[in-house]
Amino acid sequence: MTTKPMTLIQAVNDAMGIILEEDDKTLILGEDVGRNGGVFRATEGLQEKYGEDRVVDTPLSESGIIGSSVGLAVNGFKPIAEIQFLGFIYPAYEQIMTHVSRLRMRSMSRFTVPLVIRAPYGAGIKAPEIHSDSVEILFTHMPGIKVICPSTPYDAKGLLIAAMEDPDPVLFLEPMKNYRSIREDVPTERYSIEIGKGKIVEEGSDVTIIAWGAMITIAQKAAAEAAKNGISCEVLDLRTLYPIDRALIAESVQKTTRAIIVHEAHQTSGLGNDIVSIINDTSFLFMRAPIERVTGFDVPVPFFTLEEHYLPTPARVVESIEKVMNF
């Protein structure tokens, strides 16, 4: 198996190149995705190779991008729509909520929307305001769409290919913070990773830390810190947020008997609360301490001079580790 060192953004680019190459019904739509290769270079070189007809610079029009993708998707094409930043998806929210996610149901599967929406998300890169939102919950709450959020180059490539193979709409969230911070060997060939399956990033026996996207790094740093005090943390990367890997969560917390959830989204109605429910439903009698949540606050993501105070930090996670260990 040939591999190549890739960053997460290169892995995304590589996956899209494979998809465009093998199926001429696939196309990429978005703002600045063509000649410019995307503001993060996710589509770099793709328009050059596959032409303006398949890697399309659209008008600056999020509802237009998603709405026209619905028309293309029901009429034989497989669009990958890029929303430049998740914080700019709101004009398309109506299209996603009222059509993309429920057209299959409304037409008893006569019309389906095989569409992948890619969106960079998250804080921590000193981006201008609104560019740093982390609103996965707006979509995990929405019936009829899957939500994926990889944290590594390898997972990004395999999950993006799986998203393209999926017959239903998928929102593919890319942690901007991880775009270039991790480089790893990624197979150059095609492979896919099953949607809905998380993985154990670090094995441990005392506390389970559940996270995804850019928060995996935070969880790992906290785990390393705790290890110095002899506490063994198991870190789970959920990778898919809907459907969520309940079996993995249950198995891990039943082993460790303590759980901490880390997410950068706001706390109230955050996905962490669903994970608490999953633990409650599957593992109530195993737990030795109340479940901790380390999350962003119920405030708009701050301007970047203050964003470090919004984002969960390893130190905050370590505090929670101590709390569950000493309960």
**Is 128 a residue that touches other proteins (CB under 8 A)?**
no
Q: Which CB sits closer to other proteins, 99 or 118?
A: 99
283 touching other proteins, by CB under 8 A: no
Residues 284-323 that bind other proteins (CB under 8 A): none
- The residue (of 129 and 281) whose beta carbon lies closer to other proteins is 281
We find the least distance from the C-beta atom of residue 244 to other proteins, in angstroms, to be 7
- Nearest Cα residue to 291 out of 257, 315, 255, 252: 257
Which member of 2, 108, 285, 326 binds other proteins (CB under 8 A)?
Answer: 108
> Which listed range, 107-115, 157-165, 258-266, 301-309, lies at the site for other proteins (CB under 8 A)?
107-115
Interface pick for other proteins out of 10, 13, 47, 69 (rule CB under 8 A): 69
Cβ closest to other proteins, residue 5 vs residue 71: 71
36 binds other proteins, rule: CB under 8 A = no
Instruction: Residue 293: name the closest of 314, 318, 273, 269 by CA.
Output: 273
If one counts every other C-beta atom within 10 angstroms of the C-beta of residue 22, the result is: 11
DSSP labels, 264-282: EEESTT-HHHHHHHHHHHH
In the Cβ-directed half-sphere of 316, how many Cα atoms lie within 13 Å? 19
Query: Buried b / exposed e across 128-166, counting CB within 10 Å, b at 16+?
Result: eeebbbbbbbbbbebebbbbbbbbbbbbbbbbbbbbbeb
- Whichever of 25 and 183 has its CB closer to other proteins, that residue is 25
| Three-class SS state of 166 | coil
Is the Cα dihedral 46, 49, 55, 60 positive or negative?
positive
280 scored as a contact of other proteins (CB under 8 A): no
Site for other proteins in 173-232 (CB under 8 A): 196
List, in sequence order, every beta strand (DSSP E) within the chain: 3-6, 26-30, 55-57, 78-82, 116-121, 146-148, 170-175, 184-187, 199-202, 207-211, 233-237, 240-242, 259-266, 292-296
Question: Using H for helix, E for strand and C for coil, what is the string for 303-316?
Answer: CCCCHHHHCCCHHH
The footprint of other proteins on residues 38-67 (CB under 8 A) is 53, 58-59, 61, 63-64, 66-67
Q: How far is the CB of 70 from other proteins (least distance, A)?
A: 5
Active site residue 131: yes
Q: Is 71 in the site for other proteins (CB under 8 A)?
A: yes
Cα–Cα distance, 16 to 12 (Å, whole number): 6
- Which C-beta is closer to other proteins: that of 81 or that of 233? 81
In the complex, the smallest distance separating the C-beta of residue 106 from other proteins, rounded to whole angstroms, is: 5
Residue 94 engages other proteins in binding (rule: CB under 8 A): yes
Q: Annotated catalytic residue: which of 99, 131, 263, 266? A: 131
- Return the active site residues: 131
Residues that bind other proteins (CB under 8 A): 53, 58-59, 61, 63-64, 66-77, 91, 94-95, 98-99, 103-112, 143-144, 146, 167-168, 196, 242-244, 246
